[in-house]
Chains A and B, each alone.
Chain A
Amino acid sequence: EAGVAQSPRYKIIEKRQSVAFWCNPISGHATLYWYQQILGQGPKLLIQFQNNGVVDDSQLPKDRFSAERLKGVDSTLKIQPAKLEDSAVYLCASSLLTGSKIERKLFFGSGTQLSVL
C-alpha cells in the first residue's frame, strides 16, 4: 500500500515570497490533514478536510495560509507571503472514513522542510 506522498521534501525561500506544498493521501482515505511542526514542538493541526470540504480550519492563519482539496483527493497548502516564523516541517496526514466514522489513526507523509530566510 502506497503511503502519503508529499513534495517537495525541502524548500528554502526568502521572507515575503510565496511557497506551495503538495500532498497525495493514501488511496481511499477521505480525510486529509495539514500539520505544522516547529523545531522542538509537536505537530499542530492547521486544517482538516473530509473529501473536498473543510472540517476545521480554526488554527490556519488565513491572512497568509490557504489550502484546497478540489477533487477530494490531493491537496495543496500555500503560504503567501512567508514570514521567518513559518520555518517548520509541514506534514500531511490522512485517515480512513468508515461509514460516517473517521478512523483516529492518522498516516503521515515525510513532510516538507521549509526554511524562510
Chain B
Amino acid sequence: DQQVKQNSPSLSVQEGRISILNCDYTNSMFDYFLWYKKYPAEGPTFLISISSIKDKNEDGRFTVFLNKSAKHLSLHIVPSQPGDSAVYFCAATSRVGQLTFGSGTQLTVLP
C-alpha cells in the first residue's frame, strides 16, 4: 500500500532549464510534506517543505506546489544546475516524525 507515489523513476533536463518532479499521495490525513535530496553514499538531506495550509513555498531556486484536491505536489527547480543531479524523495506526514517516503526520482542535469 503505497501512500506516497513518485511515478517517474528518472528525469533528464538540460542545464539552465526547469526541472519538475512530481509526487502523489493517497492519505488525506497527511498535512505536511517534505522533499529530500540524496547523493550516492550519503543520507537524504532536507530540501524544502510545505504545510497543507499553503499551496506554494519558495526557497531560492526551489519551489514546492501543493494541490490538496488532487493530492498532488511538485518540486520545481529553476534554473537546473549539474550539481542538482541526485535522487529526490517526496515525503509526507500526518503525525510528527512519522515520515512516509515515495520511491524517489533520479534527476540528471545535463551540461
Contacts and interface: CB of A to CB of B under 8 A. Distances in A.
Interface of A: 4, 31, 33, 40-45, 48, 55-56, 91, 93, 95, 101-111, 113
A110 B41 contact: yes
20 contacts: A4-B43, A33-B97, A41-B104, A42-B101, A42-B104, A43-B44, A43-B101, A45-B99, A45-B100, A91-B43, A93-B43, A95-B97, A104-B96, A104-B97, A106-B99, A108-B36, A108-B43, A109-B43, A111-B42, A113-B41
A48 B99 CA distance: 11
Interface residues of B, number: 25
Nearest to B91: A42
Contacts of A109: 43
B57 interface: no
Contacts of B32: 104
Contact of B96 (A42, A43, A45, A101): A101
Contacts of A44: 101
Instruction: Say what secondary structure dominates the interface of chain A.
Output: strand
B93 interface: yes
B97 A102 contact: yes
Contacts of B100: 45
A111 B43 contact: yes
Contacts of B98: 45, 48, 56
B63 interface: no
B44 A108 contact: yes
Contacts of A105: 34, 46, 49
Q: Which of B41, B44, B49 has the most CB of A within 10 A?
A: B44
B71 to A, nearest CB: 17
Nearest to A10: B41
B5 to A, nearest CB: 10
Q: Which of B42, B49, B96, B102 has the most CB of A within 10 A?
A: B96
A102 B96 contact: yes
B104 to A, nearest CB: 6
A30 B99 CA distance: 17
